[in-house]
Structure 1
């Protein structure tokens, strides 16, 4: 069982006047199906709790996310939920929410400063270890691996990379990371970066991508090359699970984005009722590897 971290963040809302119990949710990007599922889980929980949820899409732009949160603070939302695009860059916006006495909850990705009531996220270090252990066994303890990294500065990229690399060094020294490049959690960049890596590296046995979007992009490049390279992703999005079932991907680490969204709103609703946690609270959420034993 992995641990999930929940954090309460204040949101600012642009536009018309807010309802009395409005909660803001600032999402890093809705161009990724993982975060669409997270948003949907939050919306369902808000409807059940009878609170208004305002969702803002930062479009993976740090300055837009900061501006969105600041605007929500000015409009006096009651709680801000934040899925940070950048762990450090979001801190000033969180501190403005703190100054306005608006609780903040971070979701999926942590912030590197500011005061939060809850942080809800999968244990990304543990997920990276799962991927490393799987690839080690899959490759028989020996081989060359490419690592496609997520957005620099995001806690998810940092922690998934740490778990993966620490586990290889500790338990699978015969597997070597021969190339490590960022593709910013994006499928298109995963494709283009992997194309370049394939040209530069003649001996590649497997790829670990910090999310499924990059993994699926890498799969496209690998299929076009005709080379037999195994790919492991992270998130277990619908497209990735289909790729695993079709033996196009070797595995993906499964998170629970809808559960994260639900928990964030439920914690926010509790804060609206006057519940005040004394410190950041961590909430357990299952994490597992999705693979297909029938694939060769």
Structure 2
């Protein structure tokens, strides 16, 4: 009798443990139709026009697919991004893409999401343990930005200029982009003087940096930013301070609508950007996440490189370059 009771007790304990384990690792329920699918985009910072374009592309695809969707701004706060992703997991989203602020802080969360059958992706800056990596070669992209600036300095200023770089050195993964910018300019114009390299990848941050640089270096010729967001602020600071002659220039990367509009202004010193196709990246990320949810997540990690194309001011004004979306 005692043995029988012990056996029953063991079975009860095993059942409770198995139930608790199943609840802790429950997979997201496979949706019966598109309208039941929930996808999300978690932005690093929606003050950046490039990220806004990614959001627009992501949402456009979600609307076409007829799925539920959510876009979240992590506001460059690691703790907020962690909480945002935790909420998506707890809310049983079927898939999400995000740009990690600190990949180390989100690595375990991604593993948790994957264990629950949630499709995961990162865009631009890389999270190495997601199902889909949609990324770029940061150094090479920066070199493309700097190459335009270096060629302009060579052709218009005889290879000599005072240059300020507005970087994204506040994000470790993007530091190589600034390095690429600086190396390209130096390769083409070794006599250039770099008077500043500071992180400021928002319009407000870029403007504040260049206003400060101009106080110390009123003969500043060229501003080069690692993205349009900081470049727009640098451009505004140059214009406000009257640095709008044929000996002044601003270059950046992303080819956002805001940047392209400034390049089209009469006598604009915004002389070049690089199109990184953010709308396309957001759009395709949503489509691929949807495919994973419907057809199953592939065993092998998938990597797609963001394309990019230099956009000199002359190409934009002549119509040779036509922006997409």
Q: TM-score range by the shorter chain?
A: 0.7 to 0.9
Deviations 1:124-165 (A, max 9, x none): 33321122211111111332211011261253x323213212
> Given the alignment, which residue of 193, 214, 222 partners 1:176?
193
Alignment of 1:132-171 (within 5 A): 132-140=146-154, 141-150=159-168, 152-155=170-173, 157-171=174-188
Deviation larger for 225-234 or 131-140: 225-234
2:270 matches 1:256: no
**Partner SS state of residue 135, structure 1:** helix
TM-score normalized with structure 2 length: 0.76
Deviations 1:155-178 (A, max 9, x none): 3x3232132123234443222322
* 1:293 CA drift (Å): 6.8
* 1:81 CA drift (Å): 0.8
Q: Is the 8 A contact 1:61 1:85 kept in 2?
A: yes
The 1-side partners of 2:222 and 2:299 are apart by 44
The 1-side partners of 2:36 and 2:316 are apart by 54
CA RMSD of aligned residues (A): 2.5
**Please, which runs of 5 or more residues in structure 1 have no aligned partner?**
1-11, 13-18
> Given the alignment, which residue of 103, 106, 120 partners 2:134?
120
The count of corresponding residues between Structure 1 and Structure 2 is 275
The 2-side partners of 1:166 and 1:73 are apart by 42
* 1:257 CA drift (Å): 1.1
Q: Is the 8 A contact 1:84 1:154 kept in 2?
A: no
Q: Cα distance 1:133–1:72, how it changes in 2: closer, same or farther (>3 A)?
A: same
Alignment of 1:4-153 (within 5 A): 20-111=36-127, 113=128, 115-140=129-154, 141-150=159-168, 152-153=170-171
Q: Is the 8 A contact 1:122 1:255 kept in 2?
A: no
* 1:33 CA drift (Å): 2.7
Higher-Rg member (1/2): 2
